[in-house]
Amino acid sequence: MNESLLHIAIRTIELEAESVAGLTKFINEDFEKTVETISNSKGRLVISGVGKSAIIGQKIVATLNSTGTPSLFMHAGDAIHGDLGMIGKEDIVMLVSKSGESPEIKVIVPLIKNFGNTLIAICGNSDSYLVKNCHYFLNTTVTKEACPNNLAPTSSTTAQLVMGDALAVCLMQKAGFNGADFAKFHPGGNLGKRLYLRVKDLYAMNAKPVVLPDTNLKGIIVQITKGRLGATAVVSDQGEIIGIITDGDLRRMLEKSDDLTNIKAEDILTRSPKTVSADELAVNALELLRSNDISQLIVINKNQNYLGILHLHDLVREGIV
């Protein structure tokens, strides 16, 4: 094992961690005013930069859009070749730059100011042209890049990224952006499913096994077998849920009983079974199954009527587990 390489990797992480921790002293009145200005804006947040800062700007835009702050990215190099037309009169412009002195930045700053848009700087140089000409300054100064030559943007870009995350989280909090809102913007993949998929989306195609309290053993086995859910609900003549019988309940009964002639559902059932609303999030149903170490839940509506059975396999099939 090459100890020198491990030491370099550890030192890189330590330097970047120190840079991030150092940002706390820059969370000031300008940061608060930036949050308020963006939150109150009727337009979008247009983020721009060049080089590595441009890549960080794109990530910040992606985070903001997915958390309820309409944003778009405009490359500083393309801005003077027509992309300045992306900026609307009510938009706010944020420029991301380590030095604040890049030629592209110096060209577009006066143009943005002429438009009358509010200009915010995420910058690591408080004496720069950009900072001296912006309305609000989010300071991302770092003492040292993780690069051994102190040249390649490493600690500085990490600081920019974290400052963008801090801004996005504050904007989320101020807007009251919650899990339901998040789900609207993340419908794809397993993450989306965990946020929007509900019990009613999963159990509806299942059988609806059900027996009455006086159903005999054969009738119980037939219902459990036909349903292929490993269980059947037990309901009263009025349709009220009395209990559940699982294949585990059947096995335990067979171990204890020699005479099966007069066995009825009411002799085997588990009373007060675990239930879940059809409108409940599937991920919450999964937690209910896990916390009770069971495989099935009785699905009910708001009137407590029996609708069907949700099985752990339904959640596995959809990738919730």
Quote the CA–CA distance of 181 and 139 in Å, as a whole number.
30
Question: CA 54 to CA 310: how far, in whole Å?
Answer: 48
Distance, in Å, from the CA atom of 202 to the CA atom of 314, rounded to the nearest integer, reads: 6
The answer to whether the pTM exceeds 0.75 is no
pLDDT of residue 296: 95
Q: Give the pLDDT of residue 265.
A: 92
Full DSSP string of 138-152: EE---S--SSTTS-S
Computed on alpha carbons and rounded to an integer, the radius of gyration of the chain in Å comes to 30
Q: Is 75 labelled as part of a ligand binding site? A: yes
Specify the pLDDT at position 3: 66
Q: What does each of the 321 residues of the chain score in pLDDT, given as a tens digit?
A: 666 989 999 999 999 999 999 999 999 999 999 999 999 999 999 999 999 999 999 999 999 998 889 999 999 999 988 899 999 999 999 999 999 999 999 999 999 999 999 999 999 999 999 999 999 999 999 999 998 888 889 999 999 999 999 999 999 999 988 766 666 666 666 666 666 789 999 998 899 999 999 999 999 999 999 989 999 999 998 888 999 999 999 999 888 887 888 899 999 999 989 999 999 988 899 999 999 999 999 999 988 889 999 999 998 888 776
83 within 8 A of 50, measured Cβ to Cβ: no
Q: Note the pLDDT of residue 159.
A: 97
Q: Is residue 146 within 8 Å of 12, Cβ to Cβ?
A: yes
Domains in the chain: ranges and CATH = 3-177 (3.40.50.10490), 200-317 (3.10.580.10)
- What's the pLDDT at 80? 85
Strands 296-300 and 306-311: antiparallel
DSSP string, 153-218: SSHHHHHHHHHHHHHHHHHHHHHT--HHHHHHH--SHHHHHHHH-BTHHHHTTS---EE-TT-BHH
Q: Judge contact between 74 and 95, C-beta under 8 A.
A: no
Q: What count of other Cβ atoms lies within 10 Å of the Cβ of residue 157?
A: 25
Strand partners, 119: 93
Question: What is the number of other CB atoms lying within 10 angstroms of the CB of residue 24?
Answer: 8
Exposed/middle/buried for residue 156 (C-beta within 10 Å: 0-12, 13-18, 19+): buried
d(CA 104, CA 57): 15
